Amino acid sequence: MARTLELRVGAAGDALDRFEAAWNRVAEGRKLAPLRVLTLQDLPLLLRTLTPARWALLEHLRGAGPSSIYELAKRLGRDYKNVHTDVSRLADLGLIERRPDGLISAAWDAVRAELRF
């Protein structure tokens, strides 16, 4: 089964609403399905977060498989420090996984974006 992340642009309250709904489902004894959603405050933040260079990094990891940061920088023809910074940010957001063997990998098979006004 493909792991898909829903990427949304919206207010912080949206995430709190999802948390409250999940809390209520658990309190009622209903099963809780994992919710894979990343909400960013607005479109400018989304564009600063998922830059073309970061998107290319994610695409490469998804296609080529796990890699070290050094190898990734070399394959992308980018400076190691900049790739390290991008990997750290994407890992903080849950878009990249750091594996126990020291390699990094794409956390998702697909990212679906929803932009609302």
Q: Are 96 and 90 in contact (CB under 8 A)?
A: yes
pTM of the full structure: 0.75
Q: Cβ contacts of residue 33 below 8 Å, gap of 6+?
A: none
Lowest-pLDDT range of 57-61, 73-77, 109-113: 109-113
Residue 100: φ, ψ to 5°? -60, -25
In this structure, what token pair is assigned to residue 62?
């998804």
Query: Which among 79, 85, 2 has a CA at the least distance from the CA of 48?
Result: 85
Residue 25: C-alpha distances to residues 15, 18, 28 (Å): 15, 11, 5
CATH topology classification for 4-115: Arc Repressor Mutant, subunit A (1.10.10)
Say how far apart CA 112 and CA 99 lie, in whole Å: 24
Which tens digit of pLDDT belongs to each residue from 40-50?
A: 888 888 889 89
The domain locations on the chain are 4-115
How confident is the model over 58-72, as a mean pLDDT? 94
pLDDT at 2: 73
Which tens digit of pLDDT belongs to each residue from 78-112?
A: 999 999 999 999 999 889 999 999 999 998 888 88
